[in-house]
A and B are shown apart, each in its own frame.
Chain A
Amino acid sequence: MTLAEVATTAAFSIGVAAVSTAVNVLPGVILAYFLARVPFRGKSLVEAFVALPLVVPPVAVGLLLLLLFSRRGPLGPLLDGLGIPIVFTWRGAAIAAAVMSFPLLVRSAEQAFVEVPGQQEDVARTLGAGPIRCFLRVSLPLAGRGIAYGILLAFLRALGEFGATNLLAGNIPGRTQTLSLGIYDAVLSSRDRDAFALASVSILLSLAAVLLGERFLRARRRR
């Protein structure tokens, strides 16, 4: 593997992780808020469903996604018709990473919202803030640190995603190969040097993300 190829794989991994995290943020935060604040029937069922990718083997999740998006699945023909194929494309990698990392974001954000004192929101309401303003100006900023942490966790999980991605996006060098998939490929074909190169890059990337995230969180705490 040339340096350029390693760099391309790393960039692709970062891109996939970034897209999947970006896609997750809005629905994840809104869902987390509802789970934390709004009592409704069947809440534990929703919570269990959200947590499912954490406990089910990633390959099984990948299989389900493949069934959903393949040509014979319920969504595949529709998306293919619209010119947005999923299986064996970068979109597949992003979807697999998004599904696998979604619970981490939701659970961190939910916990963060739970920890916002209800009285803060009550006071905001009595001061004339409607539900949306109350959410944007009080709940969200106060839960901000926990949400940021959840986003970081989700990004890191997406960066390391392997099982589900392998099934839905395949392992096509230069097209859908992420760092994890690349390492696996290199090990299988006894390219030890490549495997170590890719593994080193992925460790450095994760380390950098953690350090940056921690620094950001600490700066916010000091404020």
Chain B
Amino acid sequence: MTGAPNKIRVDHTAGGFRLRIDIAWTARTVALFGPSGAGKSTLLEIAAGIRRARRVHVRLAGRLLEDAESRTRVAIHLRRIGWVPQEGTLFPHLTVAQNVSFGAGRACDRARLASAVDMLEIGGIMDRRPAELSGGERQRVALARALAAAPAILLLDEPLASLDLPLRSRILPYLLRLRDTARLPMIYVTHDASEALGIAEHVIVLDGGRIVASGSPDALLGSPAALRVLDLVGMENRFVVRAVDALPAEGLVRITTTRGLSLRAGDRFECAPGSTIGVRAEDIIVAIAQPNGISAQNILEARLRGIAEASGRILLSIECAEERVTAAITPHAASDLRLEAGQRVWIVLKASSIHALPGPVS
């Protein structure tokens, strides 16, 4: 792929962590996917020129930005890179309008600015300061600001990570609009598998500072290496299917796992005995009394075996049939429920939160 418009080659060691990447791609939208600490943000910062690396070659959107061998290094402010870090980092002393037009000055392009404001629907909050905005608004302003500066490529570093689930689903359409309307090349960093697979044409899977898989979303779902990483971060719960029975009267299928867990999914759900299904820990609702009058198709009696805290959320280890199920709830919910190991609980799962994953666990 010597003619690819995008190429990053880097061998960089810092604080005992080694990042070794050599990748070229032609797709417009690429996702950098991997667990925390995989080196995704570091790679993005090297690409933006914010972080210095000694052995480095960066070509983005057809422009050579950095090459250690030929001692080429384009200054950060001339790279035309729209970098949106995780927290957005709006300038707190400027209004939204001043933030958005911060980089627009060089292009003197009012139309571009207006279209960025339109696309992210922030016209109504232009006079406010960042401290007066909600998390979602801040992220939209940060995106508009990057867009208004007429970048040649967008580097988005987990733009949804700091938002809670309902907010994510509200920002996601803006990102898709950005991808489809602005038609800018984009590198999208995420540790969320569904975001990576849903947004990008090409997914690069990073783990421990190296690329473990790279390809189209479809191709990746068949790659055991990618699935292992997916397993690490995306789907905490993976079960092997023993039997699938249609329940035509209810428009559902019943899936029985090898360890006796019985789940109901929509009848268009495709899986076969021996295949793997996955459920996100976040998608599992935990109740301390049997829920009644609820639309969810799966209400299962279980026993709570362990409680652990991990990166701001509470992970519950639950025994259901013979399977171990991991559920993630907020610390607030955990303290409300006064959960204790050994206690009887019910887990609630919507039919749509069961996902088919190709192939057995390798």
Contact = CB atoms under 8 A, between A and B. Distances in A.
B103 A128 contact: yes
Interface residues of B, number: 24
Given A137-B102, A142-B92, A129 B77 contact: yes
A115 interface: no
A126 B76 contact: yes
Given A126-B83, A128-B103, A141 B76 contact: no
B347 to A, nearest CB: 40
Contacts of A141: 93
Most chain A CB neighbours (cut-off 10 Å) among B76, B91, B92: B76
Interface in A144-188: 144
Nearest to B79: A126
B146 interface: yes
Interface residues of A, number: 18
B89 A117 contact: yes
Contacts of B296: none
Contacts, number: 57
A57 to B, nearest CB: 41
A127 interface: yes
Contact of B77 (A119, A130, A137, A144): A130
A126 B82 contact: yes
B145 interface: yes
A165 B105 CA distance: 49
A119 B102 contact: no
A123 B85 contact: yes
Contacts of B149: 126-128
A119 B91 contact: no
A144 B91 CA distance: 14
A40 B210 CA distance: 33
Given A126-B76, A129-B102, 16 more contacts: A122-B50, A123-B85, A123-B89, A124-B91, A124-B102, A125-B49, A126-B77, A126-B79, A126-B82, A127-B146, A128-B77, A128-B78, A129-B77, A130-B77, A137-B102, A142-B93
19 contacts: A117-B89, A120-B89, A122-B50, A122-B85, A123-B89, A123-B91, A125-B49, A125-B76, A126-B50, A126-B79, A126-B81, A127-B77, A127-B102, A128-B77, A128-B78, A128-B106, A128-B149, A142-B93, A144-B93
Interface of B: 48-50, 75-83, 85, 89, 91-93, 102-103, 105-106, 145-146, 149
